Structure 1
Amino acid sequence: MNAPDPYLRQARRRAIAPPVSSLDTPPPDTAALAALILRVSQMRDRTAYATLFKHFAPRVKAYLRRAGLDGAEAEEVTQEVMLSLWRKAGSFDPAIASAATWVFAIARNARIDAQRKRRGLPQAPEPEEEGQSPSAETLTLAFERETLVRAALDTLSAEQKQIVRLSFFSETPHAAIADALCLPLGTVKSRIRLGLARLRAALEDKT
């Protein structure tokens, strides 16, 4: 897959193995990452893209390796994910998901497509048959459940809410969450357990 231009190809190569001098630079925080994606979306900012690539590419590759892809395949899919970041930056909405959630959702879908392709399966899911649309009653109940869950989420701390959203709403693997948030895997699992316990208690109070 070709990069948008030679500059981006160069940025992609350097991002996989950043210079030693850059390792002492603190990683961008959540707000900074979101701002960088918006700069790519609105201004096609190549410097912002290079920073995002340097931050996310090694984390995405590590997640793909843990998910079962070999080194070459993981690197190839990582390149596809980061190119998707450049091309689809306009679809990122920080009000809906954090930068890490959005990027790892792209990575998860790319991993599934790669594994399906390896097995000779179609990449796109089969279209739903006609007549399978949910009823108005089903949609109403789903909306009511979603409202209750959102209200319960507001009772969690910011850290717990972020991890619960990543784990259960975006289906991000625990290892990928640890990579995205620069946290030990044990800390991620502990926060998920505590967050779910509080979420369950809050939902029981509302039902």
Structure 2
Amino acid sequence: MLQREDDPPQVVDAFRAGDERALAEIYRRWSPVVHGLALRSLGDVDDAEEVTQQVFTAAWTSRHTFDPERARLAAWLVGIARNKLADAHAARARQRRIRTEVLSRTQVDDTVEPPDLASQLVLLDELSYLPAVPAQVIRMAFYDDLTHTQIAERLGMPLGTVKSHIRRSLCRLRERLEELAESP
């Protein structure tokens, strides 16, 4: 590791006082060290970058607790990095446990038949008979799996209008499909 001289006291004082330029200088000097620790510990560039960002965000928000009489800035930053790395490893372990639990509880039912392709094609064809906006709303609801609120936001419509389009379109589709089922 490169030997670095101590940070100039004026940079440390400015950092503790909330000067963003001092933060930029400290980041320039010490982010390679923090990132290197994170990369070695986590083995993933994206995760290491995230931890590096968390370290400097935490350092900035708790800068008033840094005491240059007790520790050098580099040691303080490494201490924060160790805490953030421990959090990252704990989060990974939680995700693995959750994934394992979900997979163990999820049972695939091989007796379920695949969707009927002919029915899907008929439904898609019937969607083409709907007006453009209601058809778009139905596609967003059922094929894109969006909530009514998400559809309203994306289309810039009132929520009630989206719900009305869905209700009327489903009624219309049901009627058309019933007619088709009854015809020879």
Q: Give the TM-score band, short-chain normalised.
A: 0.3 to 0.5
Name the structure, 1 or 2, with higher relative contact order (CA <8 Å, separation 6+): 1
TM-score after normalising by structure 2: 0.47
Higher Cα Rg, which structure: 2
TM-score after normalising by structure 1: 0.42
